[in-house]
Chain A
Amino acid sequence: MRLTGSILALALLLPCAVAGQGHGRAVTVTGEVASDAVPERPGRVVSINLCTDQLAMLLAAPGQLLSVSHLAAEPRSSSMAEQAGAYRLNHGRAEEIWLMQPDLVIAGSFSRRATVDMLRRLGVPVVVMGPAYSLAQVSDRLREMGAALGRETEAEQAVRDFEAALEALRDEVPDPPRAAIYDANGYTAGNRTLAGEILATAGFANIATEAGVAGVGRLPLELLAMADPDAVISSRRHPGASRSEEILDHPVVQALRDRSAGAVLTDRDWVCGTPHVLNAIAEMRALRRTVAAE
């Protein structure tokens, strides 16, 4: 009984302690999700998603962005790992975010629902942004981020720069070589994905389309072999071992790589809809030129 009593007392005291440490005001947890009253020009912004991290770092005013997710500092996954070092790193947990006293949290639509709901219940405004599934949506996301941070002018400038650079990368390719994105577990990306658009913009025809995969899906190894692509593009191996990546060593994939151009894609420039996809397009464009020259 005494144990139960002390646990109960602790449970009652704990939220107060956290609240005291945090904002110093009483918190009413209502259970319903509060509507986000987003400040016009937030001064303490926390981003908890790899892609919103990079958009925020690109557009935020000095001192406006407080913290980005720990993934933003990983050179493997983030194109802005160096810049991320200047910010506090978070792991997307409600408690640590609350303690930073943000006046705006920016999350991705794949961020943990429980975290987002908890922050809203605590009265922290949260803006949730979807990923970019196409190059056109990269511009949309830049504008959305600009609006969230109150940096619309900078966002418009970034969109103009991005679209001009994108236009400069487009070539007339009369007879595009055929490429396949082929990754762990045999996954590929079709034309209705960001990766698919990167490939198409670089001047490749996508094998996934021939196989009837429009989004992200499995491309059976047999179909890859039968398609006999001019280039097989895979991402770099992750640290540690896995069966899933073993498929990239399969004799069939190796034979295709020997026969065609094998390429390793730089993950960080492909995963997020930021202007860094321009690097990915440039890389693939260079690959297409070597393939076409052969």
Chain B
Amino acid sequence: MTRLYAFLVPLVLVLGLISLCTGPAGMGVAESLRALFAGGEGPLTLVMREIRMPRMLLAVMTGGSLGLAGAAMQGYLRNPLAEPGLIGVSGSAAFGAVLAIQTGLSAAFALALPLMALAGALAAVVILLAMAGPRGGSLTLILAGIAISALAGALTSLVLNLSPNPFAANEIVFWMMGSLADRSMLHVWLALPFMVVGWTIFATVGRGLDALTLGEDAAASMGINLVRLQWGVVIATACVVGAGTAVAGAIGFVGLVVPHILRPFTGGRPGALLLASALGGAAMLLASDIAVRVILPERDLKLGVLTALVGAPFFLHLVWKVRRERA
């Protein structure tokens, strides 16, 4: 365990540093970092503090949140296929965010953006749990998730197509694939409070998730309040996925790939997997966000494209494994 963190923490730090030093302005590392910390009047300080810094912070926050949410949902549902992006939680959050922007609510009151996204995510998680709770099985969960995803996607497209703004319809790609390009510190401050609430709740569910691996009855006999555990997972997931999607769009597969890779190193304990997945998710999104800037610097390649290219084969592999275990 300690060895895992000894690998993950430096990895996140190094990737964060690379992220800060990657960009079209093409300045030296030392010069960039001096401008970031020492400040000064030049345009480089503006670039470092208002463009690169928020981008790096949002990658860490959003990636960590997605990793956490994936690990927690998989632990609670005891289903390795549960992932906020795949089962429509991110999509519903995106619909909430689009509604907030298009109705003008977010212009009148900035926090409406993450709040509406949170409401969208919450609705999706509640429907999913009602239809495919711990006893629902993988298939029910995925099918319900597909339906929610499709509906949220269609409603998002509808709202954007009805907008009088000529640019709105093209933004469907952002909401479905996600991007961290040209975000500002404002977006960090919008997302952070909700994420902190989510992270705090997640920090308390670890023991319950560990106990749940023995079955619900055993967990209850160990003094775990299952109702509280369920609502903890639901609300925390809605908080972190809602806030992340509101500022970065729906980024899929992070919550699937990361817990899956790290599970063997945590002894199969869902509680321990939470923190590890948070670090792993931050690392994965930082790496993806560096990659989109290196591969196609002038095109604003969407983050979800990269994460799906890595994640979808993983997902197929997991489906295959689940199938073999059933047979």
Q: A225 and B165 in contact (CB under 8 A), knowing A220-B297, A241-B102, A251-B186?
A: no
Within 8 A of A (CB), among B49-91: 50-52
- Contact indicator per residue, chain B 86-106, by CB within 8 Å of chain A (1) or not (0): 000000000000000110101
A245 interfacial by beta-carbon distance below 8 Å: yes
Within 8 A of A (CB), among B101-122: 101-102, 104, 106-107
In the complex, how many angstroms separate the beta carbon of B19 from the nearest chain A beta carbon?
Answer: 13
A137 interfacial by beta-carbon distance below 8 Å: no
A115 interfacial by beta-carbon distance below 8 Å: no
CA distance A248 to B51 in the complex (A): 14
Residues of A within 8 A of B171 (CB): 242-244
CB contact between B165 and one of A228, A238, A252 (< 8 Å): that residue: A238
CA distance A238 to B25 in the complex (A): 30
- Contact indicator per residue, chain A 178-195, by CB within 8 Å of chain B (1) or not (0): 000000111000000000
Stretch at the interface among B40-48, B147-155, B306-314: B40-48
CA distance A218 to B299 in the complex (A): 8
Residues of A within 8 A of B170 (CB): 244
Decide: B47 and A239 in contact? CB cutoff 8 A: no
Residues of B within 8 A of A221 (CB): 51, 182
In the complex, how many angstroms separate the beta carbon of B181 from the nearest chain A beta carbon?
Answer: 8
B300 interfacial by beta-carbon distance below 8 Å: yes
Residues of B within 8 A of A184 (CB): 167
In the complex, how many angstroms separate the beta carbon of A244 from the nearest chain B beta carbon?
Answer: 4
In the complex, how many angstroms separate the beta carbon of B279 from the nearest chain A beta carbon?
Answer: 28
Decide: A241 and B163 in contact? CB cutoff 8 A: yes
CB contact between B24 and one of A222, A245, A252 (< 8 Å): that residue: A222
Task: Identify the closest chain A residue to B101 (Cβ).
Answer: A241
CA distance A223 to B298 in the complex (A): 11
A247 interfacial by beta-carbon distance below 8 Å: yes
B164 interfacial by beta-carbon distance below 8 Å: yes
Residues of B within 8 A of A238 (CB): 164-167
A226 interfacial by beta-carbon distance below 8 Å: yes
Residues of A within 8 A of B182 (CB): 186, 221, 247, 250
Residues of A within 8 A of B23 (CB): 220, 222
B185 interfacial by beta-carbon distance below 8 Å: yes
A15 interfacial by beta-carbon distance below 8 Å: no
Q: How large is the interface on A (under 10, 10 to 19, 20 to 34, 35 or more residues)?
A: 20 to 34
Decide: A242 and B43 in contact? CB cutoff 8 A: no
A62 interfacial by beta-carbon distance below 8 Å: no
CA distance A255 to B297 in the complex (A): 24
Q: A251 and B184 in contact (CB under 8 A), knowing A222-B47, A223-B24?
A: yes
Residues of A within 8 A of B25 (CB): 220, 222-223, 225-226
Decide: A252 and B101 in contact? CB cutoff 8 A: no
Task: Identify the closest chain B residue to A228 (Cβ).
Answer: B43
B315 interfacial by beta-carbon distance below 8 Å: no
CA distance A223 to B43 in the complex (A): 10
Within 8 A of B (CB), among A229-250: 238-245, 247, 250
Decide: A217 and B298 in contact? CB cutoff 8 A: yes
Residues of A within 8 A of B174 (CB): 243
Decide: B168 and A240 in contact? CB cutoff 8 A: yes
Within 8 A of B (CB), among A171-209: 184-186
CB contact between B107 and one of A223, A226, A239, A241 (< 8 Å): that residue: A241
CA distance A242 to B169 in the complex (A): 9
Of A223, A226, A227, most B-chain CB atoms within 10 Å: A226
In the complex, how many angstroms separate the beta carbon of B41 from the nearest chain A beta carbon?
Answer: 10
Decide: A242 and B165 in contact? CB cutoff 8 A: yes
Task: Identify the closest chain A residue to B103 (Cβ).
Answer: A241
In the complex, how many angstroms separate the beta carbon of A185 from the nearest chain B beta carbon?
Answer: 7
CA distance A47 to B51 in the complex (A): 45
Q: A252 and B168 in contact (CB under 8 A), knowing A220-B24, A226-B25?
A: no
Decide: B47 and A252 in contact? CB cutoff 8 A: yes
Task: Identify the closest chain A residue to B299 (Cβ).
Answer: A218
CA distance A177 to B25 in the complex (A): 22
Residues of A within 8 A of B44 (CB): 226
Task: Identify the closest chain A residue to B44 (Cβ).
Answer: A226
CB contact between B46 and one of A218, A220, A244, A255 (< 8 Å): that residue: A255
Decide: A226 and B43 in contact? CB cutoff 8 A: yes
Decide: B51 and A222 in contact? CB cutoff 8 A: yes
Residues of A within 8 A of B297 (CB): 220
- Contact indicator per residue, chain A 241-274, by CB within 8 Å of chain B (1) or not (0): 1111101001110010000000000000000000
CA distance A244 to B165 in the complex (A): 10
Decide: A243 and B101 in contact? CB cutoff 8 A: yes
Q: A245 and B46 in contact (CB under 8 A), knowing A218-B299, A220-B23, A220-B24?
A: no
Residues of B within 8 A of A223 (CB): 24-25
Of B23, B101, B298, B300, most A-chain CB atoms within 10 Å: B298
Within 8 A of A (CB), among B241-300: 297-300
Decide: B46 and A225 in contact? CB cutoff 8 A: yes
26 contacts between A and B (CB under 8 A): A217-B298, A218-B300, A220-B23, A220-B25, A222-B23, A222-B25, A223-B24, A225-B43, A225-B51, A226-B47, A240-B102, A240-B163, A240-B168, A241-B101, A241-B104, A241-B106, A241-B168, A242-B168, A245-B165, A247-B182, A251-B185, A252-B46, A252-B51, A252-B184, A255-B46, A255-B50
Top 4 nearest A-B pairs by Cβ distance?
Answer: A240-B165, A244-B167, A240-B164, A242-B167
